[in-house]
Amino acid sequence: MTEKDSLLIHKIEIINCGGFRGKHELEFSIDKQKNITVVMGESGRGKSTTFGLIYWCLYGKFFKPKQKSTLIDEGLIHKPLLNELEVGKKVTASVTLTINDQNGEKYVLTRSATATKLREESQKKFDEFNNSRINSGIQIETECKMRMEDEREGGLYTEREESIINNELRPFLPRDLSDFVLFDGEKLIKFQNPEDAKEIIIDGIQKLSGLPIVESLITSAEHTRTQIRKITAKQAGGSDGDALARALDNVDEEIKTAKGKQTENEKLRSGNRILYNEIQEAMNKTKAGKDVGTRIGVQETTLKNLKKQEKKHNDEVKEFLFKKIPELLIRETLLNSQKDFARLEELQKIPPSISSEGIDKLRSALMCVCGREFEKDDKAWVELGRVKETIIDSDTVASISQGRGLISQIVDQAQPEKINEKYNSLDDTSTVFARQIKLAKGSLYDLYEERRSLPSEGAESYDQLDKKSRDLWTGLGTIQADIEDAKLEIEKLKDTRNEINKKLEDTITHGGKHQDDKDKITILEAIVKFSEERKEEITSLLRDLTEETTNEYFMKSVPQKEEFSKVEISSNYDILALDDVGDTKELSMGQSHVLGLSYVFGCRRITEKNMFLFIDSPLHNISGKYRNEVAEVLSKYLPDVQIILFVTESEYLFAELREEGEVPVRDILRPSNKIWKEYEIGKCETEDGYSTRCFEEMK
């Protein structure tokens, strides 16, 4: 970024806009060292109005344009002045920006809207110049002028032609890049969910690259090609070609409808996610709410663990009974078997365990195991031969012994007294688990009752907010399913369109005539192909650059940076924070805000334009230590950038003290010596006694 490219907004003058009646001025820092100006005000006081007026003055468009169906009557011009307007009278609202470069004042830009009451009317109409409903008898006209240097003759002059003013400002402040100089901090919460952040990443890369121009070229070429193909198919294929052309029109319309549903559901999903996070924040707003929420979480975990332990114990009981009941049933039979073995042994029906090999050794040695010698073929020799003929081998004897042992073991284990003792022990444990679960459920019920009685900061009770959050979470699942259904429908319709296009191609090819039209189609197809290839190249390059710059800011500023290895923007535009093994980490609220700011900072660097940075609600939807973390990023990592922060009093001046080390954001920014001035938007009275918003410097 060069000094030449640097533009700063030094002052803003507001006259009769929004909640501001009369003339009000606000000055911003142009000091490189003390580069932060803070504008503080409670919700509804005029922070976002001031932010939006700067955007309107620069671009002639509203930051958040309303739909014609809106029922909102508050718009650009101070509403009481419109209501007081008499027939034939006028009132003018205006915004003036003093814009400096490195040499001092460069431009003084004024945009105004003048309302004239032409007649009395009882009806209201939507007026695009006021961005609200107004009385139907009022007409509004706008004007833009800018004091600037005359490059040919020197000196200053006032230019009133808007196209010339735009040509002068747009090289510095293109509207496509307005997000990187006037950033809506409420978007930061989207970086907690990759799907929501994807929309911002795609939009930003397209604006950085100038791709909307390429997209427009592709769309125009495709539309022209399609129309020529339809006409040629009708001419070449007669009624068949005409039918194919109509079928293609129908499919295109269905795809458009399906895409509309998908876009609508994606917006709904994004809005519901933001609302869900806001409700969670509201539920945790008070210390009591945070405390009871934590205790409910602990108790729910306790109950869950007890139920797991109970299930494991019940499985143990089932296994015990499954094993022991059969043993009890056959115990009587086994006892009788033991008696039979004993009787057979007593009758010597079970021979001793001696092998044939053992008998042969005795006969060969001519000596009995008792030590007495004998002769071959004598009485002892013959008796040993008889024993050898009737002997049972050792394996059989071992099997009989093993069987007797197993029977004895089963009989011993199947003693009713022992089984009953073990079962009673298991039953006692079951009773303990049942009691513990009952107590845990009772405690959880008490906590739910305690939560229902908690006050909230709004009109809804804590329990109502909790129900809303649960319903939203369930609804988000349904919306996501609808989005996936729409995607699937679009893919099927695209397949159908491809089939119809192929038939159209065949009809045109076999038509034999209309070569000029065929050549036109070929040329347009080449334009589309070339444009898409260039689009992919540009997109890939900028995605890599955005990833690189975002990663640089994130890795040096994110809280608990040691847990991260890098930021990655996938080919599908998912922005992911990865750990040291390449797995995606779930971000805290503060870390997701830092990721969003890192993306904004990175994109600003790619533009190579060191412009001002106004952020509306950078601390919105986060609390406690997360605010502290974001404040540190803002104070450290954008040196020499003019920063203007629009914050609420509770966000800026107070710490919630939920965790050790939390301090007000002001106590982080001030010691950094970056704060130039702090303003508060308050309620005042004009000299003639009318109520108005006003800016007051904080001391």
pLDDT digits (tens, 9 = 90+) for 54-82: 999 999 999 988 887 777 888 999 999 99
Q: Cβ of 106: how many Cβ atoms within 10 Å?
A: 18
- Reply yes or no on whether the pLDDT at 140 is more than 60: yes
The model's pTM is 0.61
Q: Provide the token pair at 200.
A: 């911002």
Task: Report how far Cα 652 is from the mean position of its chain's Cα atoms.
Answer: 25
Q: Provide the token pair at 641.
A: 């950038």
Using CA atoms, how far residue 322 sits from 310, 316, 683, in Å, is 18, 10, 79
pLDDT at 446: 78
pLDDT at 619: 78
pLDDT at 281: 62
Task: Average the pLDDT over 454-475 and give the result.
Answer: 71
Selected residue with higher pLDDT from 571 and 404: 571
Selected residue with higher pLDDT from 460 and 184: 184
- Reply yes or no on whether the pLDDT at 351 is more than 90: no
Q: In angstroms, rounded to a whole number, what is the distance separating the alpha carbons of residues 573 and 125?
A: 41
* Size of the chain, expressed as the number of residues it contains: 699
Owner of token pair 């009451």? 117
Q: What's the chain's average pLDDT?
A: 80
Residue in 588, 601, 581 with CA at minimum distance from that of residue 628: 588
Beta partners for residue 647, in sequence order: 40
pLDDT at 352: 47
User: Over the stretch 377-392, which tens digit does the pLDDT of each residue have?
Assistant: 787 777 777 766 655 4
Q: How many CA atoms lie within 13 A of 105 on its CB side?
A: 12
pLDDT band, residue 353 (cuts 50/70/90): very low
Helices marked H in 284-355 — which ranges?
A: 287-346
User: Over the stretch 72-129, which tens digit does the pLDDT of each residue have?
Assistant: 888 999 999 999 999 999 999 999 999 998 888 999 999 999 999 999 998 999 999 9
Which pairs count as long-range contacts for 140-144, CB under 8 Å and 24+ apart, including other chains? 140/77, 140/113, 140/114, 140/115, 140/116, 141/113, 141/114, 141/116, 142/60, 142/111, 142/112, 142/113, 142/114, 143/111, 143/112, 143/113, 143/114, 144/60, 144/109, 144/110, 144/111, 144/112
Range in 319-328, 509-518, 583-592 the model is least confident about? 509-518
Task: Average the pLDDT over 206-231 and give the result.
Answer: 70
Which pairs count as long-range contacts for 533-540, CB under 8 Å and 24+ apart, including other chains? 534/214, 535/211, 535/214, 535/215, 535/218, 538/209, 538/211, 538/214, 539/205, 539/209, 539/211, 540/571
